[in-house]
């Protein structure tokens, strides 16, 4: 293997966002953030989107990865949930399907136990959606498929690439 | 792992700066951060020890501009170079789209360079990746030091597959941007192949 990618087309983007929105509303969280384990931000919802989500994604993925390392040292497959409790805000980070993480930011009014229980309940649907997306992407060789049509936009020329670097 | 969002028209890529301890990986990122316009960069995050040695990683998100209407965002990471931080290096390598190897040109650091290249091969292999098939650039840093080995000699010893090589003095910025452009170019060409 030399190169891997996740390509998110319009329908999957909206489906994932609607699941995140429902989760955000049900949990009354300030932020729901779906990220890849490599630290890339995939989708987000909630009122706290003015935060530095790029840095948050990178650090959350790194925290979960470090926790996985700790788990292996003590003979566990993984510690699937990370919880950071602050005075006014807390962060709940959970692993989804081994490839993704779900990050929730919530205030002091929401109980951590409730968040944990509801995230567990809601994660199943999101995991299934991501698995379906990955499955479709793996078989998107048909030129008529929406992903294949989307990816035609990436057929940039050498000139396009050089222009990016101001030459 | 490149993430392409067709709705937001964004391409996000991950580049990892690898190499022996004190070789100048963090200095590369700091230079890029210093000379980039505020609107094209995010916060530079350094998880370092009290003595400014990288403990986990440095992270710098960069927006390189638009290509065919897509914003190209590169997430630059460094790994901790010290030998005993191998577990952290493996974590940071996860999902890398391209790798820059920052070699320390000083003669007494040759063994450290060779050990680090070997460690990179091994860690990629463990994750199912093959360096020979990945975007990869070699940077020979610290070319200004009196004990720097001749570049040709270093190339012979460190080249993996005929990758682009850049001589650099990262503290002054020499070669830093050329290195970054070369790896970004390779990543985009690789992305085009997958379309």
pLDDT in tens, A30-50: 999 999 988 889 999 999 989
Percent of residues, chain A, with pLDDT higher than 90:
39
Query: Is the pLDDT reported for residue A2 higher than 60?
Result: no
pLDDT confidence of residue A165: 76
Strand intervals (E) in chain B: 2-5, 10-18, 45-48, 54-67, 70-78, 98-104, 136-141, 165-167
Per-residue model confidence as pLDDT tens digits over B152-176: 999 999 999 999 999 999 999 999 9
pLDDT confidence of residue A153: 73
- Distance CA(B114)–CA(B137), nearest Å, equals 15
Q: Which residues of B touch A13 (CB under 8 A)?
A: 5-7
Query: Residues 60..89 of B with a Cβ closer than 8 Å to A: which?
Result: 61, 64-70, 72, 75, 77, 87-88
Interface residue of A2, A33, A150 to substitute, partner B, most B CBs within 10 Å? A2
B88-122 burial: b if 16+ Cβ within 10 Å, else e: bbbbbbbbbbbbbbbbbbbeebbebbeebbebbee
Query: Residues 134..173 of B with a Cβ closer than 8 Å to A: which?
Result: 134
Q: What is the mean pLDDT of chain B?
A: 94
Per-residue model confidence as pLDDT tens digits over B80-121: 988 888 989 999 999 999 999 999 999 999 999 999 999 999
Q: Among candidates A165, A18, A92, which has minimal Cα distance to B64?
A: A165
Q: Which residues of A touch B91 (CB under 8 A)?
A: 62, 65-66, 68-69
**Mean pLDDT in residue range A130-144:** 68
Does residue B25 contact residue B54 with C-beta atoms inside 8 Å?
Answer: yes
Query: Count of A–B CB contacts within 8 Å?
Result: 142
Per-residue model confidence as pLDDT tens digits over A5-32: 788 888 888 999 999 999 899 888 999 9
Query: Is the pLDDT reported for residue A1 higher than 60?
Result: no
Query: Residues 31..60 of A with a Cβ closer than 8 Å to B: which?
Result: 36-42, 52, 54-55, 58-59
pLDDT confidence of residue B194: 80
**Mean pLDDT in residue range A89-113:** 91
Query: Is the pLDDT reported for residue A148 higher than 70?
Result: no
Interchain proximity A8–B95, CB inside 8 Å: no
Interchain proximity B190–A153, CB inside 8 Å: no
DSSP B131: G
- Determine the residue of chain B that is closest to A73 in CA distance: B87
The residue written with tokens 């070369």 in the block is: B182
Helix (H, G, I), strand (E, B) or coil at B142: coil
pLDDT confidence of residue A135: 77
Nearest-neighbour CA in chain A from B176: distance (Å): 14
Query: Is the pLDDT reported for residue A60 higher than 50?
Result: yes
- Distance CA(B138)–CA(B162), nearest Å, equals 9
Query: Is the pLDDT reported for residue A139 higher than 70?
Result: no
Q: Which residues of B touch A3 (CB under 8 A)?
A: 2, 97, 133-134, 190-191, 193-194
pTM: 0.89
Written in H, E and C, the secondary structure of chain A is CCCCEEEECHHHHHHHHHHHHHHHHHHCCCEEEEEECCCCEEEEECCCCCCCHHHHHHHHHHHHHHHHHHHHHCCCCCCCEEEEECCCEEEEEEEECCCEEEEEEEECCCCHHHHHHHHHHHHHHHHHHHHHHHHHHHCCCCCCCHHHHHHHHHCCCHHHHHHHCCC
Residue A72: pLDDT band by 50, 70, 90 thresholds?
confident
- Distance CA(B43)–CA(B61), nearest Å, equals 7
Q: CB-based contact (8 Å) between B192 and chain A? A: yes
């Amino acid at each position: 293997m030399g190169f891997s990618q996740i390509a998110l087309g319009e329908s999957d983007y909206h489906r994932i966002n609607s699941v995140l929105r429902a989760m955000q509303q049900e949990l009354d969280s300030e932020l729901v953030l779906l990220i890849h384990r490599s630290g890339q931000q995939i989708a987000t919802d909630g009122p706290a989107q003015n935060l530095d989500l790029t840095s948050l994604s990178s650090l959350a993925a790194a925290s979960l990865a470090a926790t996985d390392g700790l788990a292996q040292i003590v003979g566990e497959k993984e510690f699937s949930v990370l919880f950071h409790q602050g005075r006014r805000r807390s962060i709940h980070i959970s692993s989804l399907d081994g490839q993704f993480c779900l990050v929730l930011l919530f205030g002091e009014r929401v109980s951590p136990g409730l968040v944990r229980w509801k995230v567990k309940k809601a994660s199943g649907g999101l995991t299934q959606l991501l698995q379906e997306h990955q499955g479709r992407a793996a078989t998107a060789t048909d030129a008529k498929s929406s992903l294949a049509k989307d990816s035609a936009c990436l057929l940039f020329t050498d000139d396009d690439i050089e222009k990016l670097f101001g030459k | 792992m490149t993430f392409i969002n067709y709705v937001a028209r964004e391409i996000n890529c991950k580049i990892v700066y690898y190499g022996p301890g004190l070789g100048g990986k963090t200095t590369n990122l700091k230079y890029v951060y210093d000379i980039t316009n505020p609107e094209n960069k995010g916060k530079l995050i350094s998880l370092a020890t009290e003595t400014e040695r990288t403990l986990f990683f440095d992270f710098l998100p960069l927006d390189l501009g638009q290509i065919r209407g897509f914003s190209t965002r590169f997430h630059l990471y460094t790994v901790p170079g010290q030998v005993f931080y191998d577990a952290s290096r493996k974590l940071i390598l996860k999902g890398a789209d391209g790798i820059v190897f920052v070699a320390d040109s000083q003669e007494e650091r040759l063994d450290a360079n060779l050990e680090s290249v070997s460690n990179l091969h091994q860690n990629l292999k463990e994750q199912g990746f093959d360096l020979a098939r990945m975007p990869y650039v070699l940077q020979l840093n610290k070319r200004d030091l009196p004990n720097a080995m001749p570049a040709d000699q270093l190339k012979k010893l460190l080249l993996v597959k005929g990758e682009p090589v850049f001589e650099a003095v990262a503290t002054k910025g020499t070669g830093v941007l050329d290195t970054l452009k070369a790896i970004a170019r390779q990543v985009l060409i690789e992305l085009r192949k997958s379309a």
